[in-house]
Amino acid sequence: MATSKVEGSSSLRHAFGGVLSVFILFLIGVVAFSIRLFSVIKYESVIHEFDPYFNYRVTQFLSKNGIYDFWNWFDDRTWYPLGRVIGGTVYPGLTLTAGTMWKLANSLNIPLSVETVCVFTAPIFSAFAAWATYLLTKEVKGPGAGITAAAILAMVPSYISRSVAGSYDNEAVAIFALIFTFYLYIKTLNTGSLFYATLNSLAYFYMVCSWGGYTFIINLIPMHVLLCIVTGRYSSRLYIAYAPLVVLGTLLAALVPVVGFNAVMTSEHFGSFLVFIIIHVVALVYYIKGILTPRLFKVATTLVLTVGIAVCAVVVAILVALVASSPTKGWSGRSLSLLDPTYASKYIPIIASVSEHQPPTWPSYFMDINVLAFLVPAGIVACFLPLSDASSFAVLYLVTSVYFSGVMVRLMLVLAPAACIMSGIALSEAFGVLTRSMKFHITKYFECSHTEAPAKLGESTSTESSAPLENMTKSDTTEKPEVARKEKVARRKQKKEKELTENAHVKPVSAKKERRPLVLPLEASIVSVFLLIVLGGLYVLHCVWAAAEAYSAPSIVLTSHSHDGLHVFDDFREAYAWLRHNTEVDDKVASWWDYGYQTTAMANRTVIVDNNTWNNTHIATVGTAMSSPEKAAWEIFNSLDVKYVLVVFGGLVGYPSDDINKFLWMVRIGGGVFPHIKEADYLKDGQYRVDAQATHTMLNCLMYKLSYYRFVETDGKGFDRVRRYEIGKKHFKLTHFEEVFTTHHWMVRIYKLKPQKNRIRGKSRKSKLGSKSTSSKSGGMTHKNPWN
């Protein structure tokens, strides 16, 4: 081939392409960052939702008290009176990242507030995630696919929903860590370099620090290793990519306080250890195979197999015994609900009660990954033409994440990068084929007009056309130099290690060379390119719309458009500000756990339960109190030193995620621990309702009373706009609670526990006595003579 001829122009082109790629990547980063700023522009620069408030509070603590105090932080303002050891129960990655960024900025005399840093952490890291996607996809299918995938990921709605400015949650940095870990794994796999393997462990450590989703990595990578072994793709590179990760990664993971010994003791990690054993066995087998003659090897195989099976049986028996001895079979509830989607709803209402733990609906797939859903199959096909270690990993990643996203809507976030990578590959390949055929037709046309020898063209097509085609492949996708480099590296390794196993890349590349490239007609190509561009445009439009309209609401401030303009509901902050300014510092506020983080962060008051649902009994206690009649509830709250009770009520403005709609979960969770609370008592014929048909228990429980107290005074009928009917019990008084604050739109209502009565009344019979004896007494107002 004429490689040397093309060498000069190709390197220039390559350099130009490199600069262009960097520039494009920079722009992708800018897009990823700026598309997430809608929330700041449309609302304000605030922390969103629930968990971010906790992370924000932790970051504040970190920035003030330093890392050691953070590590040892015992928080006495949540989970009263149990408290929470925050340092040991929180994934510190996000906090440390933002804290470092804040410190860095401040040491450079950029006086940013902690809040600002927290708000913008997620957008910054989504830019990083886009670049990591580029690197990962480049390893899988070359830089063209990489850039496409990065561009797609920069604005995939699923990821935007978790990383808009202000959404300061673990996922913000964890997705970057996830992709980057995968990239380093693939990089190690492609190069067989221990350097990258070490980096891979460190990236894995960062992921463990950041998010509980690290178990996905430590299960996916072993699965891929197993897949490679099973399909006969074992190589020393695979060993180098995997073994250090397990050893170093597990050691590092055990350093994170929240993981600790779980890194070796829970079933989530067992898969990796099992594969670790298997890969050693396989390595041994390959080694023995290398030093023995085939005949001897056969003998050895039979010998080893009998012994090996016995040993395996013993090991498996021990493992099974170990696992069976633990009540949950060694799996945490969240992981179990991943494997068995019905597990949570059956056994753990507290997991099932979270909306983001529900299975997603079909529309939510379209909403969250849009056209990618159609491009992904094409990407899978592209991954199989030629199948390499890296592309098989991409496929495996996609398949598993599709399953997980089907279990929990929250894990759509893990699917998004996989879908982006696949779509990037698909788009890039499609563009590659189409532009190649267009170029081929155009060159053909030019050659026709220039040589004016149409007769010759016919015969030359078969011989010459392959040459420009090869060049085009090179320049379009710039895949070849990459592959060549890889080959070189791999060959060097091979020489060094004297290894006989063949580089996985050599085969497919050579196969590709021999395959006759697909050439499409010019018109079809042009139309297809146009359609693909339109498709991409639609995707961009959808993403921008989703970022601007659907995912930017901070959920502490709500807006609604109606015929008379924009309404802003800022009731949450109003209520928290009231608490902050009007209650004592040490007062305890009880509410359903959803509002725990916000109350501690915004109102700075002690809460009983919060969104870190680590103690089911404590939550069940609050749930029981909410589902009990007033007096029993008062006693429960009083025993917990609660001063104020906060309920969220949407009936006046039609805010659907209020406490009445969550109430059945309170009943279920409460009833799970305290059996006198029975769900059936709150349902009328299996239906949950609070209108006149509702059960007596429902109409007298604390939650109903606190939500609908004085509600009838608003419109005279007590029409609930969320449930869309009139409430069942309209006029009632509170005996043990008093209303102290209700926000402007009645969305948050705060009640105070009345103190115990100062006196105990005697047997009353007041009315009877009053009516009887006033009549008898009224006549004679004779004073008795005191002297007699």
Alpha helices by DSSP H, 254-359: 262-265, 270-291, 294-325, 333-339, 343-347, 349-352
CB of 772 to another protein, least distance (A): 8
Cis peptide before 554 (omega within 30 of 0): no
CB of 557 to another protein, least distance (A): 14
Report CA torsion sign: 325, 326, 328, 333. negative
Rounded to 10 deg, the angle between the 143-154 and 479-497 helix axes is 110
Alpha helices by DSSP H, 3-73: 3-34, 38-42, 51-71
Query: What distance lies between CA 132 and its chain's CA centroid?
Result: 17
User: In the chain, what are the helix, strand and coil shares in percent, each to the nearest 5?
Assistant: 70, 5, 25
Burial string for 473-506 (b: 16+ CB within 10 Å, else e) reads bbbbbbbbebbeebeeebeebbeeeebebebbbe
- In the complex with another protein, the residue whose CB is nearer, 415 or 633, is 633
Q: How far, in Å, CA of 42 to CA of 551, rounded? A: 11
Phi, psi at 675, each rounded to 5° = -65, -10
CB of 471 to another protein, least distance (A): 47
DSSP assignment, residue 511? H
Cβ-contact 613, 605 below 8 angstroms: no
Using CB under 8 A as the criterion, which residues of the chain lie in contact with another protein when the complex forms? 60, 64-65, 68, 71-72, 74, 76, 80-83, 85, 114, 577-578, 580-582, 584-586, 602, 604, 639-640, 755-766, 769-770, 773-774, 776-778, 781-787
- In the complex with another protein, the residue whose CB is nearer, 591 or 697, is 591
CB of 765 to another protein, least distance (A): 7
CB of 778 to another protein, least distance (A): 7
CB of 697 to another protein, least distance (A): 27
DSSP string for residues in 345-376: HHH-HHHHTSGGGSPPPHHHHHHHHTTHHHHH
CB of 53 to another protein, least distance (A): 11
683-684 and 687-688 beta bridge pairing: antiparallel
Length of the chain measured in residues: 788
CB of 88 to another protein, least distance (A): 8
Q: How far, in Å, CA of 24 to CA of 147, rounded? A: 8
Burial string for 203-229 (b: 16+ CB within 10 Å, else e) reads bbbbbbbbbbbbbbbbbbbbbbbbebb
CB of 379 to another protein, least distance (A): 44
Q: How far, in Å, CA of 134 to CA of 402, rounded? A: 21
CB-based contacts of 212, cutoff 8 Å, min separation 6: 91, 170, 334
CB of 74 to another protein, least distance (A): 4
Q: Tokens for 576, please give them.
A: 């928290």
- In the complex with another protein, the residue whose CB is nearer, 537 or 770, is 770
User: In sequence order, what are the beta bridge partners of 589?
Assistant: 607, 644
- In the complex with another protein, the residue whose CB is nearer, 255 or 527, is 255
The distance in angstroms from the start CA to the end CA of the chain is 138
588-590 and 606-607 beta bridge pairing: parallel
CB of 168 to another protein, least distance (A): 15
CB of 771 to another protein, least distance (A): 10
CB of 582 to another protein, least distance (A): 5
Cβ-contact 627, 667 below 8 angstroms: yes
The torsion region of residue 74 among left (phi > 0), alpha (psi -120 to 50) and beta comes to beta
CB of 687 to another protein, least distance (A): 37
- In the complex with another protein, the residue whose CB is nearer, 731 or 784, is 784
- In the complex with another protein, the residue whose CB is nearer, 362 or 787, is 787
- In the complex with another protein, the residue whose CB is nearer, 77 or 493, is 77
CB of 78 to another protein, least distance (A): 10
Residue 740, CB-side half-sphere exposure with 13 Å CA sphere: 18
- In the complex with another protein, the residue whose CB is nearer, 64 or 456, is 64
Report CA torsion sign: 762, 768, 772, 774. positive
DSSP assignment, residue 755? P
